[in-house]
Structure 1
Amino acid sequence: MDTPRPSASPLDRPAPDPAATPSGAAPAGSRSAGEILVDSELRRLVEAGSIRHHPDLPIRPQQIQPASMDLRLGRTAVRVRAGFLPTTVPIEERIQELGTSTLDLDGPEGAVLERGLVYLVQLEERLDLPADLAVRFNPRSSAGRCDVFTRVLSAGHPRFDEAPMGYSGPLWLEISPLSFPVRLRRGDRLCQLRVHRGSPGLSTDELRARYQETPLVFDGDRPLGVDEVRFDSDGGLELNLGLAGRDPAGWRASLHTEVVEFSAEGAHDPAHFWDPVHAPNGRCILAPESFYIFASRERLRIPPDLAAEMLPVDIGIGELRNNYAGFFDNGFGWREDKLCGTPAVLEVRAHDVPFLVEDGQVFFRLKFFRASARPERLYGQEREGQSYQGQDLTLARAFRR
């Protein structure tokens, strides 16, 4: 089993001073507190071998986004009886214990992953991180909007969707289609990574000061003032569900559908997979274990020097699971010539009992992070794979618009 090990950094930036605080993080508010690496630095990590790939499947330029990188499925999917966290038991041994069958993703037809089942796929990319860099993972929007639940496993690391500083080893993706059977192929991109040094998150005071300089949230075309938005205690903005003024107000996944051709853009009529959700009074009731697509009430605008991540709001009950896909790259909703922003699309699943939601209800929060530099290209600027710039209530790219 591969284990994390230190190695020299290919990037010419100093690591945070481990003595800055007892936890090893530098004081909040300083540049040394941390940063998210942008596209030019991700390419340098690939060139240096810190992000590796199979020899016959080189990294494609389209995989590298402003502050994240798409990862690709390998050759084989293994159906397992249950998901699991990595421990001292190698992932390969756990797969042998729990695996029931294998699917070939490398053929021309790929393979269909059935809804409600759990699969593991080794990713084409693997990591050999410098000692000062760590990684977080998130599903891509196209996977989240198809209700394909994913999470990344790193060998020997007992948390999902993380690779610790200096990690060297393979990556596995747990995949569970929850609403539709999905056809997948080797090379399909269901998840992405974000590389960070130190603790790049803005504090609440930093975010408030930045917001006064550059509005980040809009009501239509009107930027909301700093006193009109809610800041949480962890450097985030609380944002709301938008139901009023939209018809349909959302979409609900249909039951017993055909197979979704994941990589085929515009292949499907939405009416065969989705039922419209109407909210004439600005409210609707979510059915238990159904999957919904909604949009935020506000429009978001991420500046070139910041990245963001959507996080759920803890409302004190276990009735809702919202948003599988959380990364917002630099430039989302940003236009140099216009203050406007773009709504965030929300993936929502109710649990246990019917649950009433209303327009303007706090539904998620957006956490902001310092970027190491302005990316060479911002989100939506002539990049394949960025299908949602200017979106409103937009389904996954496999569905016609």
Structure 2
Amino acid sequence: MAATPKHGILPDKHLKQLIQDGAINADSPIGQNQIQPASLDLRLGTKAYRLLSSFLPERSEISARLSVPDLYQSDLVMYEMDLTQGAILEKGHVYLVPLQESLALPPTIRGRANPKSSTGRLDVFTRVITDLNVGFDEIRPGYKGPLYLEIVPRSFTIRVQTGLALNQLRLVAGRPSVSDSQLKALHRSARLLHHNEDNAEGDQSLAARDMRVDQGLFLRIDLKGTDDQQNIVGYRAKKNSHIIDLTKIGYYSALDYWEPLYRHSNHTLLLEPEEFYILASKERINVPAGYAAEMVAYEAACGELRTHYAGFFDPGFGAGAGPRKGTQVVLEVRPHDVPFLIHDGQTFFKVLYEKMLDTPDEIYGSTIGSNYHQQGLTLSKHFKW
């Protein structure tokens, strides 16, 4: 048997082994539904703390900031909330929730966290925090300790409850990155990008000469849409709406919360500062089973707008059978400071591919109940039409 490579994203079978070995612990048993092909869903614990501000615990353990003799005289915490029966998190406020999962990682394993797709599409800004760390969402090799989630609802007031998963954790060994030359070779063998136009016939994959690769795979924004989308090219969150209970799936009328944006004759869109938009990529992507991917912001745009909150793509994303290959990427966009005009086909973000440590037992798709399998321009799972 060939030796297992030492560089890669840990797949589901390895996550299960780490759970069995006690490297991943939890206050209540970890369910099979938490284990994704290349990540682990992290669940909210029993308490939430309303904070005065965000912070990073570089100098002290987080628990020390939450267990002062008089919590209400804390320099950080305003009040404590019970999540066991559900609680309301107000739009624009900062909350900290101890998660049910904790870690005792081997020294060769590090972690990265990211919001789940549904979290990002609701404009809920979340970041995992660990003790004595100088950054968010990055978990150092060999970390032993609890996990906390900072939550800031931006567009909607939300209701959450103990056990809900808003974020996911990916564990990494070594340096699993795929070089530009490897990425081009992978496209030749597995066809990573496909056209999304209505008139795309036959082989819909992009020619290698049309791919833009530079430390990742660049993708563009779609402002033309397709006929089956009724000329809708995006959605803008309404400023005043009711609470969204995150335990309710397919429950809320989309038009009560979102304004559809229709195709413009010149295929442009003016993004207003601090508004929140759902848009989609012009290409459909494919993530082969031996790889995972992550979306990152296009550097030239970072000073003007944020192009995503949720960025993990599991092995098998866009790899399903059928005449249309690949799956569109949905973008969560928030401009800052000034209005920002974008046009159809504009380079907007890029995707980094990484190798898996091993092929997962399950891949992303309908067989494991993936919510956004073969998606188009899609709102979060909480809405209906």
2:237 corresponds, among 253, 256, 260, to 253
Q: Distance in 2 between matches of 1:279 and 1:354?
A: 19
Q: Distance in 2 between matches of 1:45 and 1:13?
A: 19
In 1, are the aligned partners of 2:301 and 2:348 still within 8 Å (CA)?
no
Q: Which residue is equivalent to 2:260?
A: 276
The two structures, once aligned, show a CA RMSD in angstroms of 1.5
Amino acid aligned to 2:79: S
1:278 is displaced (CA, Å) by: 1.8
Query: Cα 1:400–1:13, aligned 2, differ >3 Å: closer, same or farther?
Result: farther
Q: Which residue is equivalent to 1:229?
A: 211
Q: Which runs of 5 or more residues in structure 1 are unaligned? A: 1-11, 15-30
In 2, are the aligned partners of 1:215 and 1:225 still within 8 Å (CA)?
no
Equivalent residue of 1:134, what SS?
strand
Q: Distance in 1 between matches of 2:242 and 2:320?
A: 38
1:10-68: per-residue Cα shift (whole Å, max 9, x none)?
A: xx977xxxxxxxxxxxxxxxx44x100111111111111111001xx211111111101
Q: Establish whether residue 298 from structure 1 lines up as the match of residue 283 from structure 2.
A: yes
Q: Which residue is equivalent to 1:368?
A: 353
Q: Establish whether residue 106 from structure 1 lines up as the match of residue 79 from structure 2.
A: no
TM-score where L is the length of structure 1: 0.88
1:355 is displaced (CA, Å) by: 1.0
Q: Distance in 2 between matches of 1:336 and 1:374?
A: 19
Query: Cα 1:317–1:44, aligned 2, differ >3 Å: closer, same or farther?
Result: closer
Equivalent residue of 1:347, what SS?
strand
Amino acid aligned to 2:51: V
Q: Which residue is equivalent to 1:62?
A: 33
Query: Cα 1:263–1:101, aligned 2, differ >3 Å: closer, same or farther?
Result: same
Equivalent residue of 2:368, what SS?
coil
Amino acid aligned to 1:229: M
1:373 is displaced (CA, Å) by: 1.8
1:341 corresponds, among 326, 334, 346, to 326
Amino acid aligned to 2:34: Q
In 1, are the aligned partners of 2:60 and 2:131 still within 8 Å (CA)?
no
Query: Cα 1:391–1:125, aligned 2, differ >3 Å: closer, same or farther?
Result: same
Query: Cα 1:318–1:241, aligned 2, differ >3 Å: closer, same or farther?
Result: same
Q: Establish whether residue 143 from structure 1 lines up as the match of residue 119 from structure 2.
A: yes
Q: Distance in 2 between matches of 1:338 and 1:309?
A: 25
Q: Which residue is equivalent to 1:319?
A: 304
Amino acid aligned to 1:226: A
In 1, are the aligned partners of 2:45 and 2:162 still within 8 Å (CA)?
yes
Amino acid aligned to 1:65: Q
In 1, are the aligned partners of 2:44 and 2:100 still within 8 Å (CA)?
yes
Amino acid aligned to 1:81: L
Equivalent residue of 2:58, what SS?
coil
2:159 corresponds, among 177, 183, 189, to 183
Amino acid aligned to 1:44: Q
Q: Establish whether residue 243 from structure 1 lines up as the match of residue 227 from structure 2.
A: no
TM-score where L is the length of structure 2: 0.92
1:220-269: per-residue Cα shift (whole Å, max 9, x none)?
A: 3600121111001x2x1000001113421100000111001112101100
1:282 is displaced (CA, Å) by: 1.1
Query: Cα 1:325–1:390, aligned 2, differ >3 Å: closer, same or farther?
Result: same
1:381 is displaced (CA, Å) by: 3.9
Q: Establish whether residue 46 from structure 1 lines up as the match of residue 19 from structure 2.
A: yes
Q: Distance in 1 between matches of 2:189 and 2:256?
A: 46
Q: Distance in 2 between matches of 1:13 and 1:91?
A: 40
Amino acid aligned to 2:64: E
2:140 corresponds, among 164, 169, 172, to 164
1:106 is displaced (CA, Å) by: 0.4
Q: Which runs of 5 or more residues in structure 2 are unaligned? A: 67-73
Q: Establish whether residue 79 from structure 1 lines up as the match of residue 50 from structure 2.
A: yes
In 2, are the aligned partners of 1:223 and 1:339 still within 8 Å (CA)?
no
Residues matched between the structures, number: 366
Q: Distance in 2 between matches of 1:310 and 1:317?
A: 13
**Structure 1 moving runs of 4+ over 6 Å:** none
Amino acid aligned to 2:241: T
Q: Distance in 2 between matches of 1:48 and 1:98?
A: 36
Q: Distance in 2 between matches of 1:262 and 1:272?
A: 16
In 2, are the aligned partners of 1:73 and 1:187 still within 8 Å (CA)?
yes
Instruction: Indicate the percent of aligned positions where both proteins have the same amino acid.
Output: 42
1:336 is displaced (CA, Å) by: 4.5
1:92 is displaced (CA, Å) by: 2.5
Q: Which residue is equivalent to 2:96?
A: 120
2:188 corresponds, among 207, 212, 217, to 212
